[in-house]
Chain A
């Protein structure tokens, strides 16, 4: 099956710094990628839809200036958490659908654990 990778797998940073997380589709192209946030023992919450060559679409309540998304190529989307604070500590997961139709399978990255001290 298709593979999606994320880098780094975990990161610890100081409060006030920015952290960039990469999401790559390794063997297929993705015009759209999704970024989720998962809290312990809770569901995945969709943060934003990353669109190749255009602006990301953010879900209600997600600060676009806080979570910068760039989808510069058909295989790479990045999420930058700017001026991170302890409340941003979470597990961030990306996914990419194979194909355009809504019922196609989405492939998920292994996630990135962010801890802000």
Chain B
């Protein structure tokens, strides 16, 4: 079956530091890949996505590249801010049988300090 593995947290960084959150996946077909963010007290929000190999998703300074050869979709940001503190979920979408089923990683909590 499909699975998503992402690095455990919490990840604690100083403001303006470089961020990498690793994500690897296992899928039988050609999934779309997503990063979702969950701010404290809020629902999950789509941060970025990539629908095919070598696509780069980007939003709010975050980016991730769909690497089919390494089955990875690592999230990066060059300079984090305190407001980026949240839980980040890597996910893939499986279209087998139709629909939008999402398989999530365990989430990585990011804490950014001044």
The chain A residues found within 8 Å of chain B, CB to CB, are: 4, 32, 34, 41-46, 49, 93, 95, 97, 102-106, 108-111
Cβ B99 vs Cβ A49 within 8 A: yes
B45 shortest CB reach to chain A, Å: 7
Cβ A4 vs Cβ B43 within 8 A: yes
Cβ A103 vs Cβ B93 within 8 A: yes
Q: If the complex has contacts A102-B32, A102-B100, A106-B102, are A44 and B89 also in contact, measured as CB distance less than 8 A?
A: yes
A71 shortest CB reach to chain B, Å: 13
List, sorted by A's number, 21 A–B pairs whose CB atoms are closer than 8 Å. Answer: A32-B99, A32-B100, A34-B100, A41-B106, A42-B107, A43-B4, A43-B107, A44-B89, A44-B104, A46-B103, A93-B44, A95-B102, A102-B95, A102-B98, A102-B100, A103-B49, A103-B51, A103-B93, A108-B36, A108-B44, A110-B42
B15 shortest CB reach to chain A, Å: 25
Q: Tell me the complex Cα distance, A32–B32, Å.
A: 19
Which of B36, B41, B49, B101 touches A34 (beta carbons < 8 Å)?
A: B101
Q: Which residues from B are CB-within-8-Å of A4?
A: 43
B68 shortest CB reach to chain A, Å: 16
Which of A34, A93, A105 touches B46 (beta carbons < 8 Å)?
A: A105
A interface footprint on B57-100 (CB within 8 Å = 1, 0 otherwise): 00000000000000000000000000000000100010100111
A82 shortest CB reach to chain B, Å: 24
Cβ A104 vs Cβ B43 within 8 A: no
